[in-house]
Amino acid sequence: MLNPAHKVFSAKKLTIAVLFGIAFNTAIAGLLTLFGTMGGFWQNFIYSQCIGLSIFVFNILILPFIKPGVKRLVVMSLSLPVSVAVGLSLAFYISGVGSWSAPYAKQSVMIGLFFGAIGSITYFLSERIHMLDAEIKQRRLDEVEREKREVEAHLRLLQAQIEPHFLFNTLANVSSLIEVDATQARRLLDRLNDWLRVALARTRSDSATLGDELGLLENYLQILQMRFGSRLRWKIEATEEVRSIQFPPMLLQPLVENAIRHGIEPKLGGGQLNISANIKQGMLHLRVDDDGVGFSDKTGGSGAGLENIRARLTAIYGPSARLELHSNESGGVSSILELPL
């Protein structure tokens, strides 16, 4: 079996190489005829094809087994005259003209060696170009894989910065409920346990959907409602088609958390949270609307959670994704997330 590192010709490339060799040999026959060397065109054609294809076959059968270097040059220096002799003997037999005792036999050998050397050099150059091209492609693949690992590590770091805020707040709520309502504290811990199980499964999965994210969000909102009670109301609108779209984990929750923390929580009587998703002009549009207190001088559309979202968007989608926050005339804030499909 050929060493894959030195196998130049696939079946398709081998066919192309044979056709190229026949054309090259035909051109040699025409050149020899033009200069009046040896016999007519058909005799030169038979001689050129026999010698040229003999050299080609020897190169294909022997050289791919030998690594590039001095050893291959030595083998070629031996195989080239042998293949020329075999090809010339075959030409004598097929054409019925000429023999090793003929006066032009030596001339035919010299011509065969000359053009055979040119063909062999062409073969080596094409093989070297092929190997260099394969090395460059492999280096590019390695570089892409390395960059992918760096991006994944960066994304997980950003994600790790988002989740603790929610966990610490929930655990603080549990701590405060233990003394006044142990049953409610237990229910809250059960909800948190369910959320953590799903969240960890999502972060370790290579693929997830928007439906998975919305399901996780609903669990998250149910946890918060145990704290806010009737002060927190929400609605999620998304079709089954939209829910089946691939979606990065934990990308939507920080927007919801931001809306509740800075909008609904400070508002007397709480407020309404609406989450919607749809497809427009080849883009996935996500909206998180609240009717809370709106922007303040401290938030104003900034903050670690929002900056982490923007950093994740850049790492995953580049400039084709965007996050915008708008203040609503009737109060509250709308967060708009647009992702390419």
Could you tell me if 124 and 202 lie in one domain?
no
What is the residue-level pLDDT of the chain in tens, covering all 341 positions?
334 444 445 677 778 777 877 887 888 778 877 777 666 788 888 888 888 888 878 777 776 677 766 777 777 777 788 888 888 888 888 887 777 877 777 777 887 788 777 777 776 777 778 778 888 888 888 777 776 666 666 556 555 555 566 677 777 777 877 877 788 788 888 877 777 777 666 666 656 789 988 988 888 888 888 778 889 999 999 999 999 998 887 788 888 888 888 889 888 888 999 999 999 888 999 999 999 888 764 444 555 667 778 877 887 888 889 999 988 887 889 999 999 98
- Asked whether the CA dihedral 128, 130, 133, 137 is positive or negative, the reply is negative
Q: Would 146 be classed as within a structural domain?
A: no
Residue 331 lies in a domain: yes
Q: Are residues 131 and 280 in the same domain?
A: no
| 50 inside domain | yes
Residues in the chain, overall count: 341
Number of domains in the chain: 2
Per-residue pLDDT at 336:
93
Q: How far is CA 176 from CA 227, 257, 262, in A?
A: 11, 20, 22
Same domain, 319 and 265: yes
Q: Is the pTM of this model over 0.75?
A: no
Q: What is the pLDDT of residue 168?
A: 73
> Is residue 171 domain-resident?
no
Query: Which of 75, 109, 141 corresponds to the end of one domain?
Result: 141
Q: Measured between alpha carbons, how far is residue 78 from residues 58, 126, 185 in Å?
A: 11, 21, 88
CA–CA distance, 241 with 225 (Å, rounded to integer):
28
Does 133 lie in the same domain as 198?
Answer: no
pLDDT attached to residue 24: 79
Query: Does the residue 170 lie in any domain?
Result: no
Are 110 and 204 in the same domain?
no
Same domain flag for 210 and 282: yes
Q: Which domain holds residue 94?
A: 11-141
Do 210 and 66 lie in one domain? The reply is: no
- Domain-located, residue 159: no
- Is there a single domain that holds both residue 193 and residue 303? yes
Do 197 and 325 share a domain, yes or no? Answer: yes
Let me know if residue 6 belongs to a domain: no
CATH of residue 236's domain is: 3.30.565.10
On whether residue 164 sits in a domain, the answer given is: no
Tokens of 336: 């708009």
By the 8 A CB rule, do 98 and 107 touch? Answer: no
